[in-house]
């Protein structure tokens, strides 16, 4: 499995399902969720929780899902039915697999750059995440948060490239010769000023793609001379919370949920404490 030069560049793909008018009322924040076509439960959990917030602190928020190809005509029909019902699916014509996540991310960047250039901020967020949109909005509206060349989340410093062929994170020296990645933002959820998608797509034209999407975005940013920012309170961008009693869910911006059901539980917990 070798990703050839340019294979991640979004101009190689086209949209099968699209929502080109979603940004004509200008959105302040767009949350883009890469998800496999068959993960309906994950989408429904998000739709009934943080994905259902269209206005937060008076600012317009949009949540959309990005999928690749389905596995056959029946699955495609179901997806199209779901799309008619919810109007929140964008589908592109690449094979939807773990190996192709970099393509998925670049297609997200392309969608944002071409369909939603006037949005102020956007976020790439995985489908197993709990997002506290209220807290995210407070961060984005803070006077010190830049609206250009800004990206933040859970920062990854000084990460070694994995050369163990058995690892799912394996990257060959041919694809990425250096032994360490530049500082990047963990792929579970990174938020950025919406000038970046266009710049990242541009930069990717000259960058050999490899299959670690977040580190790939990091290499594009490095080429652009843009450094990921440390969040004002880095503890708001969490991965797994070891002990959900000890940490206060109403203070986080992101945390990983173990199931769609847990996304709903986290959501209800925070609502109750309001």
Ligand X SMILES: *[C@@H]1O[C@H](CO)[C@@H](O)[C@H](O)[C@H]1NC(C)=O
**DSSP reduced 3-state for 223:** helix
Please, which residue, 165 or 273, has the CB nearer to ligand X? 273
How far is Cα 94 from Cα 84, in angstroms, rounded to an integer? 21
Please, which residue, 95 or 148, has the CB nearer to ligand X? 95
Of the candidates 124, 127, 90, the one whose C-alpha atom is nearest the C-alpha of residue 109 is 124
- To ligand X, the closest distance from the beta carbon of 225 in angstroms equals 29
Which residues sit at the interface with ligand X, rule CB under 6 A? Answer: 47-48, 52, 94-95, 97, 99-100, 103, 248, 250-251, 273
- To ligand X, the closest distance from the beta carbon of 219 in angstroms equals 19
Of the candidates 265, 250, 263, the one whose C-alpha atom is nearest the C-alpha of residue 45 is 263
How far is Cα 42 from Cα 128, in angstroms, rounded to an integer? 7
Where b means 16+ CB within 10 Å and e means fewer, 42-56 reads bbbbbeebbbebeeb
Please, which residue, 89 or 155, has the CB nearer to ligand X? 89
- To ligand X, the closest distance from the beta carbon of 99 in angstroms equals 4
Please, which residue, 87 or 251, has the CB nearer to ligand X? 251
- To ligand X, the closest distance from the beta carbon of 233 in angstroms equals 12
Region of residue 153 (phi > 0: left; psi between -120 and 50: alpha; otherwise: beta): left
- To ligand X, the closest distance from the beta carbon of 248 in angstroms equals 4
Please, which residue, 91 or 100, has the CB nearer to ligand X? 100
**DSSP reduced 3-state for 13:** coil
């Amino acid at each position: 499995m070798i990703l050839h030069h340019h294979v991640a560049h979004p101009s190689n793909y086209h949209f099968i399902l699209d929502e080109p008018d979603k940004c004509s009322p200008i959105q302040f924040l767009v949350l883009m969720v890469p998800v496999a076509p068959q993960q309906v439960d994950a989408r429904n959990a998000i739709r009934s929780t943080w994905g259902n917030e269209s206005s937060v602190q008076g600012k317009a928020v949009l949540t959309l899902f990005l999928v690749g190809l389905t596995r056959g005509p029946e699955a495609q029909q179901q997806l199209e039915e779901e799309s008619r019902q919810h109007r929140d699916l964008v589908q592109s014509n690449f094979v939807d697999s773990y190996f192709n996540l970099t393509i998925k991310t670049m297609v997200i960047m392309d969608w944002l750059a071409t369909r939603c250039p006037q949005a102020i901020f956007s976020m790439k967020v995985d489908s197993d995440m709990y997002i506290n949109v209220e807290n995210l909005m407070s961060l984005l509206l803070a006077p010190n948060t830049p609206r250009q060349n800004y990206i933040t989340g859970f920062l990854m410093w000084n990460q070694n490239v994995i050369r163990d062929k058995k690892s799912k994170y394996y990257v060959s020296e041919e694809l990425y010769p250096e032994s360490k990645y530049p500082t990047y933002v963990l792929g579970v959820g990174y938020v950025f000023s919406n000038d970046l998608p266009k710049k990242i797509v541009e930069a990717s034209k000259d960058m050999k793609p490899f299959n670690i999407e977040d580190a790939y975005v990091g290499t594009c940013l490095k080429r652009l001379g843009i450094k990921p920012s440390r969040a004002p309170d880095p503890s708001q961008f969490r991965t797994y919370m070891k002990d959900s009693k000890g940490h206060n869910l109403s203070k986080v911006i992101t945390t990983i949920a173990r199931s769609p059901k847990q996304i709903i539980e986290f959501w209800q917990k925070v609502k109750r404490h309001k």
